[in-house]
Structure 1
Amino acid sequence: MNSARPFAYSGKDSILCCDGVQLDRLAKKFGTPLYVYSAEQIAGRLKLFQESFAEIPHLICYAVKANSALAILKLLDAQGAGFDIVSGGELERVLAVNRAAAARVVFSGVGKTAAEMDAALRAGILLFNVESEGELELLAERASKQRKRARVSLRVNPDVFAETHPYISTGLREHKFGIDIRRARRVYREAAKAKYLDARGVSVHIGSQIRSAEPFGAAAERVAGLIRDLRRDGHTIEFLDAGGGLGIEYHLSLSGDDASGAHSFDPKEKVTQYAAAVKKAVEGVSDVTLLLEPGRFLVAQAGALVTRVLYVKKNGEKVFVIADAAMNDLIRPALYQAHHEIVPVTRTKSKKRVVADFVGPVCESGDFFARDREMPALKSGDLAVILDAGAYGMPLSSNYNSRPRPAEVLIERGRARLIRRRETMQDLLAPETL
């Protein structure tokens, strides 16, 4: 599946659809705000990765943090995906889908607790991506207590710059992630002394929303060199974890052309370029299994947030379109100043457009989805869609202002399935006591 998005207007009545299912009908049945995802596109994006690396040993480990909905994890598990987790909670989600999938789990993250390590050891995960010497010591202690061998991979920091938002760049020495690659051989020597640790891999991750293949190739090349050194030191290294981070293009119109006139976006071409860069970097390393951890690339463009316009107001010359979705439902614009295309569910013949801020009802000036954006004129009651919201939308949502979180719907083979009901006030109040 090469199209950038599964969302398109139907030719007959100009209603926006997801895989042929009209979004106005979903809004009527399930209410708004509402997350809608395409199962076909998610599976298709995973297949692009699997096919691009088919000639070499590999495992595509979906980054659960991008979207941890159980139905999406189940969909990917059925297609043979592994999982990259960063918490004990994400491990429990994978195990809820399929306990046997633990054998395809890599555990990343800088702050693993003893309890999380214990749970991962009991589950029998594939690999711990260790990010500090202190973590390595604690893991050795927990593995010894359970008398279970822990397969480990050090996450090294290659000091490779990737052009992305500073909050999601992770490959430089000043970031909190990983171990300086220049110290790695010494740390591996220490790991080899621990009875219940098996150093089996090397891991790297340089950031997220990276749209060029070159940084991935540069990082993988440095890790490949380290693997050759480690093997000469006597370590049995069988995994090269190249991380994730391949980005998408958020500035696309629904026709596939870039809204700013810059670029189109071909998912297959992007994955092909990425695979070529990584494979070239590791071609001199024999008997290694590549672990790859895409997240955003698989789910972002497969999802959208449907919202209803509450009011349109003017303050002087300033126009505000106030919707029922808010920053607590999708925080990316407020947190990263991220761009999301916003389109009406019903496309009319009117050519009237307006420059407006598209905002939510939360009591914060940062509660916006677009500022000074030219868009079709909308009125109270209209439905609009915030595109490319399938990644880091629902997982980053909150109950700020005591707002229940949205429902989620998955479109499978032309049918809509509720995969998470809308929260109620009873859900929000249940953990509290008076």
Structure 2
Amino acid sequence: MKNNIPPLQPITSPWIQRIADNYDLQKDLIDTYESPLNIHHLESFQNNLAEYRYILNHYNFKSKIYYARKANKCSTLASVAFENGFGVDTASYEELKQCLDINISSQDLVLTAAVKNEKLLRLAITNHVLIIIDNKDEADLILKIAKEEKLQAIVGFRISGFEYKDHKLKSRFGFDIDEVGGFIIEFFNSEEVLKYVNFTGFHFHLDGYDAHQRGAALHQTLDLIETLITYGFNPNFIDIGGGILMNYLEQESSWIKFQEQLKKAVLGKREPITYQNNGLGFYNRNGEIEGKLNTYPYYNTTSKEEFLKNVLEIAYVHRKPVSYRLQELDIELRLEPGRSLLDQVGVTIARVAHRKKDADGNFLVGLEMNMTQMASSSEDFLLDPIVCYKNKKTAEERADVYFTGAYCLESDFILKRKISLPKLPEIGDFVIFINTAGYMMHFFETEAHLFKLSQNVFINNVDDNVSLLDFYRDENNLETKHIYL
């Protein structure tokens, strides 16, 4: 059988390959922790932390990085980030409480939750955690709680609506930048508010990965700060959120070819390469392709360093780059990377439960997991998994398969892509999904059917002698098993 399914070969770190080459280890892990299992590698996380520190140390302005915990729920990662001098961005009551419980200092935490109720705000205020205010109701509630607790709340304001190429970058989050200055001046127009609320800076997060948009937003925020300084305010930071690109794929050519073949399939010019010929954002309108690929840009050539340089060197109307203005105004640049700090940090492994054919003759390989346990916020996760066969020697032909999950839903496909394999997997074989630690493992995971949530384990180093005893659960993270930069 000729392989005409375009591959998307992921970058695979040596630690991942060592686990993929060791079927007996995989069996020990799944027998112990059940399927699916999320495996994390602390050394890779350490390397990513060090890379960000190296990049920002080249600039003369102040900077601080907050690890975006919502990208992965494991408290071990939050703890290790803090131990190595990084802050942690929290987005819920449990995220914040767990960070406080594992002794992450309040001054290294920020609360950015989209919805903040009284319980959450009281926890932040009583622990002196910076709160990013999204709207007037939050501001009023923060003032109320601070007065009740007789404490000063530390706050920043989330802003949006920046001008870029003659249109506004609209968002459901934050205050419009054209209105927030007036709100701040009015809100803080009393000694009582100044006593109980300490305004310290601004926060924004832009969808997409456009460095020029971020540069424009930074300049407009700096303009706002200059205006507020004349009214006696002294904001000292701008937090630009995350969204810093990373690269998942080995080859650009495979990324280009996949999109070409997907378009051909949508137009009916070749057999489908996705289930039921899902265009993943492309669609056929009268024989022409319209739309765009609605997935993460899995291949890109822009490094973290290049991306940040592109943001910081934008000069805007002032003819001064962002980096110069940050230094001139003594403003600290803050970032909240999640996905890019988790690059090559984790994999998800699942056991094959069954094989079957559907009415169209497609091989469906059922896995002991469900679609929420490796779910992307976009149309699909476009990386080839590694299938680990117990019986490697066989004369069987190649098999093109779809991986399906355990929910009673027609839509429970682990990947919408058809995957071409050396042979059809057998019951008890394992499938390893690569580079899943950032937003894939936990972001949409549910417990429907009363299925257990997948367990999370960590390992510090992987060598040829690695065994089950080298892995430990996330809830054991308080033990002294961390590596320090």
Give the CA deviation at 1:161: 7.8
> Quick one: distance in 2 between partners of 1:161 and 1:284?
19
Give the CA deviation at 1:336: 4.0
Letter matched to residue 363 of structure 2: V
What are the residue-to-residue correspondences of 1:21-420 with 2, within 5 Å?
Answer: 23-54=26-57, 55=59, 56-99=61-104, 101-125=105-129, 127-159=130-162, 172-173=169-170, 175-193=171-189, 194-195=193-194, 196-207=196-207, 210-250=208-248, 252-253=249-250, 259-261=254-256, 270-280=303-313, 281-285=322-326, 286-299=329-342, 301-315=344-358, 316-332=360-376, 336-346=379-389, 348=392, 352-376=397-421, 377=423, 378-392=425-439, 393-414=441-462, 416-420=470-474
Give the CA deviation at 1:243: 1.0
Letter matched to residue 419 of structure 1: R
Task: Decide which of 13, 17, 39 is 1:6's aligned counterpart.
Answer: 13
> Quick one: distance in 2 between partners of 1:418 and 1:161?
48
Give the CA deviation at 1:86: 1.5
Give the CA deviation at 1:321: 1.1
Bigger radius of gyration among the two: 2
Give the CA deviation at 1:331: 2.8
Letter matched to residue 414 of structure 2: F
User: Cα–Cα, structure 1 residues 326 and 202, in superposed 2: closer, same or farther, change >3 Å?
Assistant: same
Secondary structure, in 3 states, of the residue corresponding to 2:370?
A: coil
> Quick one: distance in 2 between partners of 1:24 and 1:259?
32
What runs of 5+ residues in structure 2 fail to find an aligned partner?
1-9, 258-296, 314-321, 476-485
> Quick one: distance in 2 between partners of 1:336 and 1:279?
31
Query: Which deviates the most, 318-327 or 340-349?
Result: 340-349
> Quick one: distance in 2 between partners of 1:39 and 1:154?
33
Give the CA deviation at 1:17: 5.9
Letter matched to residue 201 of structure 1: G
Give the CA deviation at 1:50: 1.4
- Does the aligned pair in 1 maintain the 2:41–2:461 contact within 8 Å? no
Q: Deviations over 1:240-273 (max 9, x none)?
A: 11111223344x25xx666425799689x52102
Letter matched to residue 355 of structure 1: D
Secondary structure, in 3 states, of the residue corresponding to 1:396?
A: coil
Give the CA deviation at 1:349: 7.4
Letter matched to residue 411 of structure 1: I
User: Cα–Cα, structure 1 residues 43 and 258, in superposed 2: closer, same or farther, change >3 Å?
Assistant: farther
Letter matched to residue 106 of structure 1: V
- Does the aligned pair in 2 maintain the 1:191–1:199 contact within 8 Å? no
> Quick one: distance in 2 between partners of 1:8 and 1:346?
19
- Does the aligned pair in 1 maintain the 2:388–2:430 contact within 8 Å? yes
Secondary structure, in 3 states, of the residue corresponding to 1:375?
A: strand
Secondary structure, in 3 states, of the residue corresponding to 2:238?
A: strand
> Quick one: distance in 2 between partners of 1:30 and 1:115?
34
What runs of 5+ residues in structure 1 fail to find an aligned partner?
163-170, 422-434
User: Cα–Cα, structure 1 residues 318 and 231, in superposed 2: closer, same or farther, change >3 Å?
Assistant: same
User: Cα–Cα, structure 1 residues 102 and 259, in superposed 2: closer, same or farther, change >3 Å?
Assistant: farther
Secondary structure, in 3 states, of the residue corresponding to 2:354?
A: strand
| Residue of structure 2 in register with 1:428 after alignment | none
Superposition TM-score, scaled by structure 1 size: 0.82
> Quick one: distance in 2 between partners of 1:349 and 1:72?
39
> Quick one: distance in 1 between partners of 2:442 and 2:370?
12
Q: Deviations over 1:156-202 (max 9, x none)?
A: 1034789xxxxxxxx942x3211111001111102323131122101
| Higher strand content, 1 or 2 | 1
Identity of aligned residues (%): 21
User: Cα–Cα, structure 1 residues 264 and 388, in superposed 2: closer, same or farther, change >3 Å?
Assistant: closer
Count of residue pairs brought into register by the alignment: 396
Give the CA deviation at 1:75: 1.4
- Does the aligned pair in 2 maintain the 1:201–1:240 contact within 8 Å? yes
- Does the aligned pair in 1 maintain the 2:366–2:404 contact within 8 Å? yes
Query: Which deviates the most, 349-358 or 111-120?
Result: 349-358
